[in-house]
Amino acid sequence: MAEAHAAVAFSFTVTPDGYDVNINHEALKHVWQSGVVSWKKRIGRLKNNIRNGVFPATITSWMFVVGIILAVKLAGFDPSFGVIESIHRHTPGLILFSYSVDLYISTMLFGTLVWIGKFLVMRYILKLLLTYHNWMYEVRGTISLKTKIWFTLIRLYGGRKPLLMSYQSSLPKLPVPSIKSSVENYLQSVKHLLSDEKYQEMEKLASDFSKGIGNKLQRYLILKSWWATNYVSDWWEEYVYLRGRSPIMVNSNYYGVDALLVNNTNVQVARAANLIYAMLMYRRELDREELNPILINGVVPLCSAQYERQFNTTRIPGEETDQLVHFKDSNHITVYHKGRYFKVYIRHKGRLLKPCQIEMMLQKIVDDESRPAEGEEHLAALTAGERVHWAKARKEYFSKGKNKASLDAIEKAAFCVSLDTEPQDYDPNDPSKLDRYGKAMIHGKGYDRWFDKSFTFVVCSNGKIGFNAEHSWADAPIMAHMWEVVVTEDHMRLGYDERGHTLGTPEFQPPNPIRLEWDISLPCQQRIEESLQVATVLLNDVDLHIMMFREFGKGFVKTCKVSPDAFIQTALQLTYFRLEKQFCLTYESSMTRLFREGRTETVRSCTADTCNFARAMEQGLAKSECIKLLSKAADTHQKLYRDTMTGKGVDRHLFCLYVVSKYLGVDSPFLSKALSEPWKLSTSQTPHQQTDRLDLNKYPDRICGGGGFGPVTDDGYGVSYMIAGEDTIFFHISCKVSCPHTDAHKFGATLKKSLCDMRDLFSKD
């Protein structure tokens, strides 16, 4: 199936008769088309940069301001109080023009200066307004007059028709909390989890830190916050993700699954083609910044910086640290099927291929019966194993020749596609099928996902889909946003014919897929198999359970006047207490995208109030008392969540102080102990309905199954949940098989009972 392509556009040789010039017109045509596409993108980016540069003002407002000032000037009045005349006298070259031309130019220059002053003032006011966060604490209560005025001003100064990146320069910086507040909040979060003796020890370490080295570290951190756009994000990406030397499969990468209650088509290549096309259209929206920025309550913008590396991005292994590489554009994707890799072009003559044409190319791959090259089938196991091992193998065996060219094709692809040979599905009569579905997405076989790519799109043999995403470039809400858009496009716009194939008729024969060629030596094959052994041990140790909870959803929880997230977090604490007879330090992820380049912060959701509620439930106290304790626990949780979203969290601050201490070569017993405590319960809510493209009230069966991640500790649980619609909650529960006292299915069953017991508190006897 390999397709021959000319390597050069022209060549020449010297002969006894003179020069022999050979021009490849087809190659020159492709070079020209590629150049046209590239320049169109550059011009588009320039236009967007100009629009974003003057936001919240617009170019139209410039024309309006200049027009008004020019009209007033022509009417015989001087709105500049002599400034226009000063511009005329002191601007070189203007005196060479006639008086009327000089008048127009001087007035337009003055109008431009007024307009620049206007948008700078508007941007400063908008930035100042966005530093106000008290509205977060009023959204479910009585809104104060101050907040009402603030919302009005945001709408007034927030600009019209913003691009994806329009708000970036107006977002405030993440503030550095005080040492006192972070230490006090930390101690409060662990007091109920430690014995009196251990708490007194921690309190002493915290006091020594606050009075000693902590202040010095804080000064360096404040200095960084003045200089850097965000004082956390670059260190978080480097030290938490890129410097990790253990496998990223299961340990770092996360996954998502399909909408489970509908079946669009059983034709694998048709479903793949539609979704690939939808993803490429989504990428076009990102490139052109036509994707609407996320606005809380339709008013308050979230940072959009993480979207920039969603496509054309790969993680490159290094011996000490990995590197994220993002390419400006990519004209192809790579497809893995039955152990072979193919390069598939997505454009023809500068235009994106249609779904029906993509389906034709994918069908050729499926129909191809060629065998994988030696070592090719398990090649991606290198990305699933130890990072140092992969870095050394990459340098030694993939730095030249066929292997380098083929590896470049994978790493420079827009994204990777895996056409699986096994079906996956949801069957209410066989819950184990959903568990297998999740395991196929989080790790597959350990060699059929390119774990270094920003994401691998997985299509099962029966048309069900999912993805596996690398974590360092962005957090789950970014992938969830794309997933929501493309799955909705597949449902609502693209569609299939009566045989399950894509709609439309190909206008021309699309280019053939190109089989990637490899020359993998025996020593390299040995390296691949070593990585596969590591990956196999890791994936066999994953205990994963996906539970669709349909007894009730957020609709019922709201009638209890409790936040759905707080309700679920409290249920998780009750579940863990019922299983382990104790409480543990609990991680809940929240976002800090109200600030520029913000990513995540930790909600320490195991509070004294949630513990009191769990004990009351186990002791069988009266319903009224349990409801009172639940309400208090929920209020405490909501305050913590809002505090972390508004820059008052604990963990990222302590983490950055620890990094500074390592740079300075000083030890802090308090920071070392605080940051080494294990998160035996790591939780996260997957956002749903980030866009208004899908109406779940009209199409309730379109709910997506969400996604999940692996356990953070050897003896703990990872729990991801998605509140999908009014009466459904998805839970993705993971732990390790090798741990004798963790069991994902047992946790799920206990969690279901906890939720139902909490519901029964509100039932009328």
DSSP 708: E
The helix or strand, by DSSP H or E, that contains position 456, with its residue range, turns out to be strand 455-459
- Among 471, 481, 491, 653, the active-site one is 471
The helix or strand, by DSSP H or E, that contains position 528, with its residue range, turns out to be helix 522-540
The helix or strand, by DSSP H or E, that contains position 18, with its residue range, turns out to be strand 18-23
DSSP 238: I
One-letter amino acid identity for 539? L
- Tokens standing for 185? 């909040």
Does residue 118 contact residue 65 with C-beta atoms inside 8 Å?
A: yes
One-letter amino acid identity for 136? M
Instruction: For tokens 């050979």, name the residue.
Output: 22
- Tokens standing for 567? 């309700």
Catalytic, 471? Answer: yes
State how beta strands 351-352 and 416-419 pair: unpaired
* Measured distance CA(438)–CA(443) in Å, rounded: 9
Residue 296: strand pairing partners: 300
3-state secondary structure labels for all residues of 423-446: CCCCCCCCCHHHHHHHHHHHCCCC
- Tokens standing for 599? 């990513």
DSSP state letters, 549-568: E-S--HHHHHHTTS-HHHHH
Residues 6 or more apart in contact with residue 582 via CB below 8 angstroms? none
* Cα maximum dimension of the chain: 106
- Tokens standing for 496? 């299939």
Q: What share of the chain is helix, strand, coil (3-state, %, to 5)?
A: 50, 15, 35
Torsion of CA 607, 203, 662, 217, to 10 degrees: 100
| C-alpha separations of 521 from 47, 383, 528 in Å | 49, 18, 11
Does residue 92 contact residue 109 with C-beta atoms inside 8 Å?
A: no
| C-alpha separations of 61 from 55, 83, 465, 677 in Å | 11, 21, 46, 55
* Measured distance CA(31)–CA(445) in Å, rounded: 39
Residue 529: strand pairing partners: none
- Tokens standing for 431? 């819950």
* Measured distance CA(275)–CA(263) in Å, rounded: 14
Q: Which of 460, 471, 479 is nearest to 709 (CA)?
A: 471
Instruction: For tokens 């007024």, name the residue.
Output: 114
* Measured distance CA(578)–CA(501) in Å, rounded: 50
* Measured distance CA(688)–CA(681) in Å, rounded: 22
- Tokens standing for 163? 């691009």
- Tokens standing for 722? 């998605």
Give the side-chain half-sphere CA count within 13 A for 318: 13
Residues 6 or more apart in contact with residue 308 via CB below 8 angstroms? 286, 326
Instruction: For tokens 């940051």, name the residue.
Output: 675
Does residue 343 contact residue 514 with C-beta atoms inside 8 Å?
A: yes
The helix or strand, by DSSP H or E, that contains position 19, with its residue range, turns out to be strand 18-23
**Which regions of 143-257 does DSSP assign to beta strands (E)?**
254-257
Q: Which residues are catalytic?
A: 471
